[in-house]
Amino acid sequence: MAPTHERLAMHLKHPVAFLDRDGTIIVDKHYLSDPGHVELENGAADGMRALAAAGYALVVVSNQSGIGRGLLTREQVEAVNARCDHLLRQQGVVVEGWYLCPHAPEQDCGCRKPAVGLALEAGRDLELDLGRAIVIGDKRSDVELGLALGVTGILVATGHGMRDLEWARAAGIPNFADLGQAAAWVVAQDRARGGVPAAGAPK
């Protein structure tokens, strides 16, 4: 799905929240191909509204290896994205861009998280300040995308998050029950810095 550009002018030099899809924004249903089965995760809409209100552009970056494995078509994945977008808009949330990696892990691409390809593409498309990004997701690869960009990566315990929770805690990675709680923490950190998101991980 192409960037919406609805508020593009507002986002010049604005921070961006890179968000995972399955297990973070919507319930992970394992290679989901039916838009009718899309269900928003706990806290997702609330968290995304809070981030947008704090000045973050909302961008979804998602590994969709089911395409590369022959289990899904790109059209099916984009139909699921469209349904997710519709449900979020009903909750007052506008996603500025939807980006996906269609490759299987063994294809050794530059866009499968934690590689930075999707983030760089979004940064070019939407003229975002990647130095003030945050990354939120339910997998270690999401957190490691943040590390690769030199910014804060946050783990949520929805989806597959419990699997990497012990690792995150041992590594001092911010971790929260869901996207809503993660967003509340991000906004509180920004307020403590005078309302300006800082580059890199919070001190």
pLDDT at 6 (0 to 100):
45
Give the type of residue at 162: M
Residues of the chain with pLDDT under 50: 2, 4-11, 199-203
Of 22, 28, 138, 142, which residue is the catalytic one?
A: 22
Q: If one looks up domain 8-192 in CATH, what number appears?
A: 3.40.50.1000
pLDDT at 13 (0 to 100):
59
Active-site annotation holds for 142: no
Q: What ranges do the domains of the chain cover?
A: 8-192
pLDDT at 203 (0 to 100):
30
Active-site annotation holds for 20: yes
d(Cα 186, Cα 180) in Å, to the nearest integer?
A: 10
pLDDT at 1 (0 to 100):
52
pTM score: 0.90
Q: State the helix-helix crossing angle for 44-53 and 179-192, rounded to 10 degrees.
A: 20
Displacement of CA 148 from its chain's centroid (Å): 15
pLDDT at 196 (0 to 100):
58
